[in-house]
Amino acid sequence: MSTPLDDLFVKARTENRALLIGYLPAGFPTQDGCIAALTAMIDGGVDVVEIGYPYSDPVMDGPVIQAAADTSLHNGTGAAEVFATLEAIAPLAPTVVMTYWNPIERYGVDKFLTKLKSVGGSGVITPDLTIEESVPWIEASRERETNRIYVVAPSTGGERLRRVTEATSGFVYAASLMGVTGTRTSVSSSARDLVARVREVSDLPVAVGLGVSTPEQAREVAQYADGVIVGSAFIRLLQESGSLAEGIAKVRALAQELSEGMQRG
């Protein structure tokens, strides 16, 4: 199996750089506004896009993303809007959906994967799906040639880390700290240690998320990780701008600043 996501990680390794991965919930700040903002992120240098499936009871999302998800849900965002966003963005950059398990289960596993594949999706990040409950998901996603992206944390022990990474494809999502998403003044030192531990048990690319928000932080993480994930920083710009046009311009500018730090050495 090879998806646009896999191919891009291979290319980035030959260029000695990390990939910049940008996150935004579907339907935020509006359906059309989300597509416009994601397009601006790609124009600014984002390599891979994560489209969030807004959910009413998130376990991993900090206050910035929770507020954005609330806006999205208030706008009536559901599966149709998530897939419409993916269909619009996938031709521009490798695109994955980040979703809690409940929306997939409600939609139907086979139906969800079939639709994802039909609109060009490269994979799915499932932050609350455990390995013990993953057998049907692993089998179905393999049949549909869709990447399964699991999240590991500094607390993930050695044997469990091996089991999780063996079930993962595309890339391993390394949470930089124990906590929720959000902008922070520094990236936890445990992130580098976690990436090193993943590399001891897996050859998959490793992308670091949670807390990366500034060009300086992104440059630091890019020196040891294969991908740098930024979400809350983009969302905050859209939340705090006086207009959608202003927010989109700021999003594009931040993407440019972040992307300049992806080269290693």
Active site residues: 50, 61
Q: How far apart are the first and last CA of the chain?
A: 31
Cα(129)–Cα(132) distance, integer angstroms: 8
Classify 262 in phi/psi space as left (phi over 0), alpha (psi -120 to 50) or beta: alpha
How far apart are alpha carbons 26 and 77 in whole angstroms?
7
* Interatomic CA distance for residues 234 and 44, integer angstroms: 12
Burial class from Cβ neighbours inside 10 Å (0-12, 13-18, 19+) for residue 23 reads buried
The CA radius of gyration of the chain, in Å to the nearest whole number, is 17
CB count within 10 Å of CB 138 equals 15
What is the sign of the dihedral through the CA atoms of 149, 99, 227 and 20? positive
Residue 136, CA distances (Å) to 79, 97, 103, 116, 139 in order: 21, 18, 16, 17, 5
Order the strands of the 48-52 sheet from edge to edge. 147-149, 123-125, 95-98, 48-52, 19-25, 227-230, 206-209, 172-175, 151-152
**H/E stretch holding 229:** strand 227-230
Residue 238 phi/psi, 5° resolution? -70, -35
